[in-house]
Amino acid sequence: MTSFALILFAALFFDGLIVRTKSVCSGRKGPGVFQPLKDVARLMRKGAVYSPTTGWVFKAAPIVQAASVVMACAVIPLGEYGALLSFRGDFVFFAYVLALGKFFGIVGALDTGSSFEGMGAAREALYSMLAEPAFFMVVGSLSLLTGFVSFADILPAIHLSGAMSCAIAVVAAGVLLVLELIENSRLPVDDPKTHLELTMVHEVMILDNSGFDLGLILAAGYLKFAMYAALIANLFVGSVPDAWDVPAFLAVQAASAVSIGVVESFMARARMNHNPQFIFALTSVALLLVFGVLLAVGNFR
């Protein structure tokens, strides 16, 4: 329960810290850290407006998206603090409960009958499909390294005791950080601030959402940020004393948010036809991680 509560707490300031970092990098005062939460609260006080062309799928999609992210967060532990839910193969559940939310988001966009939203849905489906192998390679390599098949056992068993284990943790953290950008539709794959429909991905999918529904979608995105950062934190928390688990977790969350803010401040959006190549390159790096783990396991036997 502690790990779940910490992820929820980190989600409160994650996106705001990204915005503040971008403001500092561009020399602007910018909004406060909690401005994104104020925007969500404002939206949730409003009623949603539905087009007569939409059906129950469009109305249910934001709820399923938010619920899927909450369920995924429930299987992530933190050091000595176990996960809210834990069972063998829970990392498969993690991946596919997120895929369920993504699926409902895609079909909800298609349910509007808008060609623009259908275009964005097709792009989001493609990018998620291409990114999935990288995630399973990372988790599979960590499972092979530790000998366990559950997040609750894999993540606490990771200890940075040598150069090889440190290299594996750093590469895995880098892959997860880029996956965090892809799954949250951020630069260089997508730009949440763009207003040109022909180059939009996620933002064009939620053009018809308003009020409470839009607030749910935004809140789920903030929680997803903290969720991936929690996976990164678990790569390093096992190597610090138990009393430092929570400070280390919060430090990694803050470092992840600042890193994303810096990336978005100094990196341009990639051309649309280059995005699949970028995601394939990430899968290649994850494959190198698998080879590194195979080498480490062979050396330790």
User: Measuring CA to CA, which residue among 130, 68, 131 is closest to residue 94?
Assistant: 68
Q: Number of structural domains, the chain?
A: 1
Number of H helices, E strands in the chain: 11, 0
- pTM for this predicted structure: 0.93
The DSSP secondary structure of 196-261, one letter per residue, reads -GGG-SHHHHTTT--HHHHHHHHHHHHHHHHHHHHHHHHHHHTTS-GGGHHHHHHHHHHHHHHHHH
pLDDT, tens digit, for every residue of 90-145? 999 999 999 999 999 999 999 999 888 998 999 999 999 999 999 999 999 999 99
Q: Domain residues for 150?
A: 2-300
**Counting every residue, how long is the chain?**
301
User: Measuring CA to CA, which residue among 14, 34, 64, 82 is closest to residue 228?
Assistant: 14
pLDDT value for 262: 94
pLDDT value for 301: 47
The answer on pLDDT for 187 being more than 90 is: no
C-alpha of 262 from chain center: 17
pLDDT value for 4: 94
pLDDT value for 197: 66
Tell me how far apart the alpha carbons of residues 292 and 173 are, in angstroms, rounded to a whole number.
14
Considering all CA atoms of the chain, what is the largest pairwise distance in Å, rounded to the nearest integer? 64
pLDDT value for 160: 83
Please give the mean pLDDT across all residues of the chain: 91
- Compute, in degrees rounded to 10, the torsion defined by CA atoms 19, 250, 262, 235: -140
User: Measuring CA to CA, which residue among 144, 197, 189 is closest to residue 282?
Assistant: 189
User: Measuring CA to CA, which residue among 243, 53, 231 is closest to residue 142?
Assistant: 231
Tell me how far apart the alpha carbons of residues 255 and 135 are, in angstroms, rounded to a whole number.
21
pLDDT, tens digit, for every residue of 136-159? 999 999 999 999 999 999 998 888
- The least confident of 53-57, 220-224, 240-244, 259-263 is 240-244
User: 240 phi and psi, to 5 degrees?
Assistant: -115, 160
User: Measuring CA to CA, which residue among 107, 113, 272 is closest to residue 198?
Assistant: 272
Tell me how far apart the alpha carbons of residues 260 and 174 are, in angstroms, rounded to a whole number.
12
pLDDT value for 43: 95
Tell me the percentage of the chain whose pLDDT exceeds 70: 98
Six token digits for residue 166: 């440190």
Average pLDDT, stretch 23-45? 92
Q: Is 183 helix (H, G, I), strand (E, B) or coil?
A: helix
Beta pairing partners, 81: 78
